[in-house]
A and B are shown apart, each in its own frame.
Chain A
Amino acid sequence: MTSFFIYKAILVVVVFGIMLLAAMYSTYLERKVAAFIQDRVGPNRAGPFGILQPLADGIKMFMKEEIIPEVANKTLFIVGPCIAMLTAIMAGVVIPWGGELVINGVPYVLQIIDFDFGLLYVFGVVSLGVYGIMIGGWASNNKFSLFGAIRASAQMISYEIAMGLSIIALIMMTGTLSLREIVEFQAGGTGGTWNFWNVVYQPLGFLLFLVCAFAECNRTPFDLPESETELVGGYHTEYSSMKLGFYLFAEYINMFISSAVISTLYFGGTNFPFMNDLGLSQNAITILGTLAFFIKIGFFVFFYMWIRWTLPRFRYDQLMYLGWRVLIPLAIANVAITGLVMILTDRV
């Protein structure tokens, strides 16, 4: 029993560390990708190729003066970034980071908890994340912050519906809400039969989910809550020092988590092609699978940045139009088509 707790504790610490590290280096990657797309070189002063830049940024964030506005609600002002950070990190619990690792005959699953309703948990936690933004924007007692917060909550609510609906088609196919079972459903090349990644069966669902994920993470072209050209800084206008750092960090962790969820749901998670046909041992497959998973996550994190430096921001009415009058009908149609195909092919 104690060994079980030790293994879980180690896993929690490692996942926590990886997420923070990923968020740190996402900021570096963001600046590098931005620079490269604009034909610049980006940060290159701190360490070779500037790889110590996140460290320098972190130190800067800690050293900055902490300013809490006189008129702000002090408690909520502090609670806001904490909630944003907490909910961002909590979602990492159910992500299946890898398969089974057998050490001394004891199998260790590289996943902190395998809920039966893992997908619902992710959705619940992610939608709680808007409270961090909402509370922060409200507590600042500043018009721009409040505008940002209101935009964020309206945007989140609108896009969560389409996101949930696009997932329903996937759940109908797989028949489970457990993320691990969804991953196993996509295992490639098991005993001669091919299970393709879900993106092959659900291309429209994937597209809808991707667009909604962009909106949920407040990333360009849906970054209206913090549109600096209109709202100074949006919901974090009044924030300074590490509280601002927490908001920025939460955004990057959200990006990382949503990339992980996208890879899990639609791109096979820890599966990679020919994984069971190469004659590798169980542990080797697990390690390679985790590696493949992180490559997929890395690609999607890069994709977020790639889109950010390609597309301009939507107007607010365009955002609402897209959410309510395009994505939701499409998601419902996707559910209907999936059901129809399942009945016709007797896969119910």
Chain B
Amino acid sequence: MKSLTGKAKVLDNPKMTFLERIYLPAIIGGITITLRHLFKRKTTIRYPEQKRTFSPVWRGMHVLKRDDNGAERCTACGLCAVACPAEAITMTAAERKPGEEKLYREEKYAATYEINMLRCIFCGLCEEACPKEAIFLTDRLVSTDYARDGFIYGKDKLVESVDNRVDVSKRQSPKVLEFKKIKHLRHNR
């Protein structure tokens, strides 16, 4: 009877020939394959000394940028927290006191700013939502930890230090910056 789909195959278990039954040719074939692999180029990267280069669009650990004077750009507007699909970002806002102009650029700032790195999916929507160019995803890795608490990154880990700025120009290339200036696009407003 012909099958409806025509996909069925008739299998006949052919008797093994003598050469197949003594296995030796097959074994010799096998060991030549493994011998060839013995001399192949190894695919391993010796990690701490050698590192794979990230793709130019790689989104890794976040950074909270400071402006040129060293004041924090973040104004705790909460747009990033709203944009975040994983609800990984929380913050509390505070008002800048007189004399703190060196520390915070705007009149309002984030007293606490936490990202739960276990919730974060590194989509980069917080970066897109930020009106102050304050948060960016960098090419750094989120390191491992023993407990869940360790993955909730506060301002101590997120804000870049004044003398050791984090380079975000890898993804914020001139082309991207040019694109961001086109204000009539809804995306960039």
Contacts and interface: CB of A to CB of B under 8 A. Distances in A.
B22 to A, nearest CB: 9
A37 B44 contact: no
Interface string A289-329: 00000000000000000110111000000000000000000
Given A38-B37, A306-B35, A311 B27 contact: yes
Given A39-B40, A311-B27, A44 B46 contact: yes
Contacts of B35: 306
A41 B42 contact: yes
Contacts of A44: 46
A307 B42 contact: no
Contacts of A38: 37
A39 B37 contact: yes
Interface in B18-44: 27, 30-31, 33-35, 37-38, 40-44
Contacts of A310: 27, 30-31, 33-34
A40 B42 contact: yes
A40 B42 CA distance: 5
B16 to A, nearest CB: 14
Contacts, number: 33
Chain B contact surface mostly: helix
Interface residues of B, number: 14
B72 to A, nearest CB: 42
A41 B49 CA distance: 14
B44 A40 contact: yes
A123 interface: no
Residue from B31, B34, B44 having most chain A Cβ neighbours under 10 A: B34
A310 B46 CA distance: 26
Contacts of A40: 42-44
A311 B30 contact: yes
Contacts of A306: 31, 34-35
A250 to B, nearest CB: 26
Interface of A: 33, 36-41, 44, 306-307, 309-311
25 contacts: A36-B37, A36-B38, A37-B34, A37-B37, A37-B38, A38-B37, A39-B40, A39-B42, A39-B43, A39-B44, A40-B42, A40-B43, A41-B42, A41-B44, A41-B46, A306-B31, A306-B35, A307-B31, A309-B34, A310-B30, A310-B31, A310-B33, A310-B34, A311-B27, A311-B30
Top 7 closest pairs, chain A to chain B, by CB: A310-B34, A310-B30, A41-B44, A37-B34, A36-B38, A40-B44, A41-B42
